[in-house]
Amino acid sequence: MRLPEPRGPLSAALRADLATGTDLAATTPELARSVAATATDPLLDDDLQLSLAVCYELHYRGFDDVADEWEWSPGLIGVRRVLEERHTTALRALVPAVPVSDDPVDVQLSAVIAADDGPSLSRWLARHGSLGQWREYLTVRSVYHLKEADPHTFAVPRLSGRAKAAMVEIQADEYGGGSAERMHSELFAGLMRDLGLDAAYGALWDDAPAVAFASVNTMSLFGLHRRWRAAALGHLAAVEMTSSEPSRRYSSGLRRLGFGPRTTVFYDEHVEADAVHEQIAASDMCGSLVDEDPSLAADVLFGAGCSLAVDGLAATHLLGAWEAGRSALYGAPEPTAA
């Protein structure tokens, strides 16, 4: 995967620093502080979100011609910390605190989901989405789905007991149950190819808008920090509890455009798998974690709220662009082809 094209002074500085293979320029940390301080909408700020994604990607598959030693560079971790703090503050502003009740945590998670009033992207794509709009949607989602399960999996070593076993049970299915061709990331890559997109890992980063990175950056933040392990589980639970029916609609939308089972298998798989995962995630995984440490309940609910709210931002961005007759991709203001 190559380094993405910069979208502002910080991402440009990081690209230059990483390409040199030496160390951060003296001005880069100051740029990070400036971008973090002046971003009016951090979750939609292209320079901030791309820069944070670049920092996190070093913990995943890295970049071509960027030395592995950069992963734990103290200076780069310092830059990442500045961006994480701004990102976290923005999440807290977006997701109101949910009072923890005496109800079981699965009941509380269901209440958080029931209260979500974000727009339904799956309904719109099922009924109205053109092939061009589907390609844009897949471009946005490729930032996550080509590494599907990996951000949440970082939380596994931070758990114990039934919560850990339940999470591993869910993640094993995400990774195809030991079959490489059945991994959800591979199924998504096949879907992309069928719709004429480049399915190489990271190939479409330059086209993805900030909100695509905000979604994955939130998962990476929760997965990579032990302090946020409960939020990582709440986030995963919200994904599993809300994806079965939307996946059915996405599959229907693709069939409406003439695609068959070979193409829809990614969504068909989620209809089946996530219906099973819902109870495992809410009761066995999150419930066991909170039974072991009740103080983590608020973080579980916060993580679930973040999953719903950031997905809502993405849906609002995409639908707003399409309803205005323009592309939702970065740097492509021309009208979307019907």
**Same domain, residue pair 110 and 132:** yes
Rounded CA gap, 274 and 173, in Å? 10
**Same domain, residue pair 204 and 162:** yes
CB 54 within 8 A of CB 14: yes
Has residue 50 got a pLDDT over 60?
yes
Does some domain include residue 4? no
Return the ∠ at Cα 240 (arms to 238 and 244), rounded to 5°: 120
Does some domain include residue 139? yes
Q: Residue 22: its pLDDT value, please?
A: 76
**Same domain, residue pair 157 and 66:** no
Q: Residue 290: its pLDDT value, please?
A: 98
CATH number at residue 184: 1.20.910.10
Q: Residue 333: its pLDDT value, please?
A: 60
Does some domain include residue 99? no
Does some domain include residue 1? no
What pTM does this model have? 0.96
**Same domain, residue pair 246 and 155:** yes
Contacts of 29 (CB under 8 A, 6+ apart): 75, 78, 79, 82
Neighbours of 157 (CB within 10 A): 10
Has residue 205 got a pLDDT over 70?
yes
Does some domain include residue 143? yes
Q: Dump pLDDT digits (tens) for 64-114.
A: 989 999 999 999 999 999 999 999 999 999 998 899 999 999 999 999 999
Last residue of a domain, one of 69, 94, 119: 94
**Same domain, residue pair 76 and 143:** no
CB 288 within 8 A of CB 166: yes
Task: Single out the residue of 217, 174, 211 nearest to residue 311, CA to CA.
Answer: 211
Q: Residue 273 — pLDDT band, cuts 50, 70, 90?
A: confident
In Å, how far are 69, 79, 139, 240, 268 from 245, measured between CA atoms? 43, 39, 21, 11, 10
Question: What rounded mean pLDDT belongs to the chain?
Answer: 96
Number of Cα atoms under 13 Å in the Cβ half of residue 107: 5
Q: Residue 145: its pLDDT value, please?
A: 98
**Same domain, residue pair 90 and 158:** no
Last residue of a domain, one of 67, 94, 121: 94
Question: What angle, 0 to 180 degrees and rounded to 10, lies between the N-to-C axes of helices 261-279 and 184-194?
Answer: 150
CA dihedral 315, 318, 321, 326 (to 10 degrees): -170
**Same domain, residue pair 141 and 248:** yes
Query: In this structure, what DSSP letter does residue 159 have?
Result: -
Which uninterrupted H or E stretch holds 135? helix 131-145
Does some domain include residue 329? no
**SS3 assignment, position 97:** coil
**Same domain, residue pair 114 and 225:** yes
Residue 242 structural domain: 105-323
How far the first Cα of the chain sits from its last, in Å, is 31
Q: Dump pLDDT digits (tens) for 154-181.
A: 999 999 999 999 999 999 999 999 999 9
**Same domain, residue pair 230 and 295:** yes
Does some domain include residue 133? yes
Rounded CA gap, 108 and 128, in Å? 34
Does some domain include residue 333? no
**Same domain, residue pair 84 and 118:** no
Last residue of a domain, one of 53, 73, 94: 94
Count of domains for the chain: 2
**Same domain, residue pair 130 and 30:** no
**Same domain, residue pair 235 and 298:** yes
Specify the residue for token string 């039934």: 162
Q: Residue 335: its pLDDT value, please?
A: 53
- Flag the least confident range among 75-84, 203-212, 262-271, 273-282: 273-282
Rounded CA gap, 35 and 164, in Å? 37
Q: How far is C-alpha 274 from the geometric centre of its chain's CA atoms?
A: 17
E strands, the chain, are none
